[in-house]
Homo-oligomer: A and B are copies of this chain.
Amino acid sequence: MKIVCQKNELLKSVNIVMKAVPSKTTMPILECILIDATRGEIKFTTNDMELGIETVVNGSILEKGKIALDARLFSEIIRKLPENEVTIETDNKLQATILCEKAQFSISGKDGEDYPYLPFVEKDNSICISQFTLKEVIKQTIFSIAQNENNRMMTGELFEISDNILKVVSLDGHRISIRKIELKENYEKKKIVVPGKTLIEISKILSGETEDMVNIYFTKNHILFEFDNTIAVSRLIEGEYFRIEQMLSSDYETKLKINKKELLNCIDRATLLIKEGDKKPIIIGISDTSMELKINSQIGSMNEQISIEKEGKDILIGFNPRFLMDALRVIDDETITIYLVNPKAPCFIRDDAESYIYLILPVNFNA
């Protein structure tokens, strides 16, 4: 194999495929990037057996071939080469020479034939949204997936398509995050659960531009994202997602409007008094015109009032401050509306159109 590419093109492509290089693996070949120049285009592939990424690299093929090169080493070498044309050439002993200006590296590769193929995904069902929207909706929901693998379903996110609505849901047993996105067309009903890790990696390589689009294809077991020169294929989590409808009551006893930034900053300050790992709640008291926040710990105490507009009853309720902050950080509205029932029932932060709903369970506290 012999290919020639600009350093910045190589670097861009390497950065994309690095997202699916496993940090630990029992298959050493997966620590490599497959460089495939057998079929008229140069393709980089990586695959951690859950997520696989393939991207086409701009460049010329002088001699067809393929090779697998250690991903970390190859990416570091490319990063540190001068900004110029790079030639990558392999011999029949799987030695690769990387040449750029007067710098010449020689490293050992592995046989490209041994690299596992990405699963084939039938491109039947698809939706099309902007890279900006996909990146945003991941950011706005990913924080409430479960971190540990005890309940695999909770480590994923529900993608539910119905007519022209994409609904994305994540939950971890203490809270639920829901975002609804309007699509440009109507689609068939579809419910899949995408691994959280896949979404985290994908969102890192999405451009985030509103004019760049991404096509998403589904099969029974796989999801495929197609954008720019790249496709990313991930397994889905099998099984039926949690029924969340019954938890989404719209009854409330207290409704209040509050400035989001003031509330977020106040909770952020209050958490200074909580040691890492300590489960101190923040206690919120709602009266007619103000919310009073209080925290008491061995380190000290803090209280603060924030002006609100209120309908309904007064209430005193405790929350894990981090759960409130996670939700507040991803809401763009300047003023938010919070719905409460009683100190044992979940609170809802939602807009009128229900384009977002954040449900958070309260915690017990000693008043």
Contact indicator per residue, chain A 132-158, by CB within 8 Å of chain B (1) or not (0)? 000000000000000000000000000
- Is A39 part of the binding interface, using a Cβ–Cβ cutoff of 8 Å? no
In angstroms, Cα B105 to Cα A273, docked, is 9
Closest to A303 in B: B104
- A305 touches B (CB below 8 Å): yes
Which chain B residue shows the least CB distance to A294? B104
CB pair B102 A300 closer than 8 Å:
no
Binding site for B on A (CB under 8 A): 73, 76-77, 80-82, 102-108, 265-266, 268-269, 272-273, 299-306
Q: A82-B265, A265-B80 are in contact. Are A272 and B73 (CB under 8 A)?
A: yes
- Nearest residue in B to A108 (C-beta to C-beta)? B300
Each complex incorporates copies of this chain amounting to: 2
B104 contacts A302, CB within 8 Å? Answer: yes
Name 24 interchain pairs, CB-CB below 8 A, sorted by A. Answer: A73-B272, A73-B299, A73-B300, A76-B272, A77-B272, A80-B265, A80-B268, A80-B269, A80-B272, A81-B269, A82-B265, A102-B305, A102-B306, A103-B266, A103-B269, A103-B302, A104-B302, A105-B300, A105-B301, A105-B302, A106-B300, A106-B302, A107-B299, A108-B300
CA distance A105 to B300 in the complex (A): 7
Alpha-carbon distance A105/B297, docked complex (angstroms): 11
